[in-house]
Amino acid sequence: MSIRHHLSDPLLIAYAAGNLPEAFGLVVATHVSMCDACRAQLAVFEAVGGAVMYGEAVAMADGALEAAMARLGAPEAAKPLARPKLKQNDLPAPLQDYVGGGLAAVKWRSLGMGVRQAILPTAKGATARLLYIPAGQAVPDHGHRGTELTLVLRGAFRDATDRFGPGDVEIATEELEHTPVAEAGEACICLAATDAPLRFSALIPRLLQPLFRI
Amino acid sequence: MSGGWIIFYCDPDARGLRKRFMLLDLALHAPIYGPILPPMRVGRRGVGKSVTEAKGEVDFTALMLAVRDRQDRAAFAALFQHFAPRVKGFLMKSGTDAALAEDCAQDVMAVLWQKAVQYDPARASVATWVFTIARNRRIDVARKARGPEPGALDWGPETEPDQADIYEAGQETARLVAAMADLPEKQRALVQRAYFGELSHSEIAAETGLPLGTIKSRIRLALDRLRQSMS
């Protein structure tokens, strides 16, 4: 898989710091599961977290050590490095947890024109959803009030900025007004997260928006 | 709960190549960076002492391996004394009240004992590992649920951990602590605010003063390994 569009440093730092809304965290965790480069960058930013923590000692309460020692039970047993059992599934591991299985387990809901979506259960503050866009089909022209992350899982889409294939993530901010179109040949399945409702240019999608929660 | 493990597959040839680079690295840095963490600077962040003072300090990697491989309670106690106050302090800086931070620090250290088998000294320093456990604990408390964690990449054939990798990973915290101490106060404060959760990702993106180049130049392990695995 040759990934050309990666996560930004700010997203990786915020994830490393534990400070991304859950929906964005899901996109980051999923991309990192697919991308060696971003996994390495994330390791760097987690190490920075270790160094920041290093400078912040506050004394523990009296008796804290004794309490900790009293708590020590049997540690988890060593397991051989088995392949994760969901390895052969068609969704990356972080997504499987949210979907409750692979693609077959997704509870799609039609948005019309063959486009389908499934909202994933995440905490308030941002929304995550899977999008199914039939080959050659366009997602209605829209802009963003906040940030929209779109990670391609299957197929590919193009918009005015570039082509996005499997593993690629598009980071769209307020400036970007775009019409993503799924490439011909294969349906495009994406994981998308937004921290504000999308802004559709046309009237019909705008009217439908409250119904579909996009 | 393993947080952000990097799981890379390095083929044996790449490893050999990497080792040669590593030796060069060590030759360049050995006089500057001691093998272990520099002494802490209580309450005087930023007034940096040099890493050369690290000589004679505790080897946390060795302690962690004693916990992992022998369930060594004395080693755990030493790790607790060092890391629990830092977890507590970090959580308090991140907006957690003192009592909850104390409880969470206890939980984090209990996880360190419980999940010690997951610690891989070639992939992260103990400080980094503890940080990811603390970070995940903070998310769990805030959401009352588990946050998404990256899945494992392909598992390579099992190999003995490379001593040079272990050394390098053990160094990462010392290097970054030194790098942080050398930063101008403004930049250091920005890094800290990002990690205390005071800056959203878009605020981090809008912030031009973050010393990302400096940070990345100090921690080459993960990036080197990536280059090796791709070459």
Rounded to whole angstroms, the Cα distance separating B33 from B217 reads 14
Across chain B, what does the average pLDDT equal? 72
CA B148 – CA B106 distance, rounded (Å): 23
Domains along chain A with CATH numbers:
1-214 (2.60.120.10)
Which 5-34 residues of chain B touch chain A by CB within 8 A? Answer: 6-8
Contact call for A8 and B205, based on CB within 8 A: yes
A&B contacts, CB < 8 Å? 248
Nearest to A156 by CA among A193, A198, A190: A190
- Position B28 scores a pLDDT of 31
Please tell me the distance from the alpha carbon of residue B100 to that of residue B134, in angstroms, as a whole number. Answer: 12
Q: Which residues of B touch A92 (CB under 8 A)?
A: 151
pLDDT at residue number B88: 97
If 0-12 CB within 10 Å is exposed, 13-18 middle and 19+ buried, where does residue B206 land?
Answer: exposed
The interface residues of chain B toward chain A in range 74-133, judged by CB-CB distance below 8 A, are: 76-77, 80-81, 84-90, 92-93, 98, 101-102, 105-106, 109-110, 113-118, 123-125, 127-132
Interface with B, mutate which of A46, A65, A120, A148 (most B CBs under 10 A): A46
| Statement: residue B27 has pLDDT above 60 | no
Closest by Cβ to B194, choosing from A13, A60, A75 = A13
Asked if B217 reaches chain A (Cβ–Cβ under 8 Å), the answer is no
φ, ψ dihedrals at A128, nearest 5°? -115, 140
pLDDT per position as a tens digit, A36-53: 889 988 988 999 999 999
- To the nearest whole Å, the CA of B9 is away from the closest chain A CA by 10
Mean pLDDT by 10 residues, chain A (214 residues): 90 94 94 90 92 93 96 79 55 90 91 89 88 89 79 94 94 81 94 78 64 60
Residue B188 CA, chain-centre distance (Å), reads: 17
ipTM of predicted complex = 0.85
What pLDDT was estimated at residue A95?
Answer: 92
Pairing of strands A188-194, A127-133: antiparallel
Q: Sheet with A181-182: list strands edge to edge.
A: A163-164, A157-158, A181-182
DSSP A175: T
Domain-by-domain residue ranges, chain B?
12-150+157-230
Instruction: Give how far A112 is from chain B: nearest CA, Å.
Output: 30
* Residue B92 banded pLDDT, cuts 50, 70, 90: very high
Nearest to A43 among B4, B118, B177 (CB): B4
CATH of region B12-150+157-230? 1.10.1740.10
Query: pLDDT averaged over chain A?
Result: 86
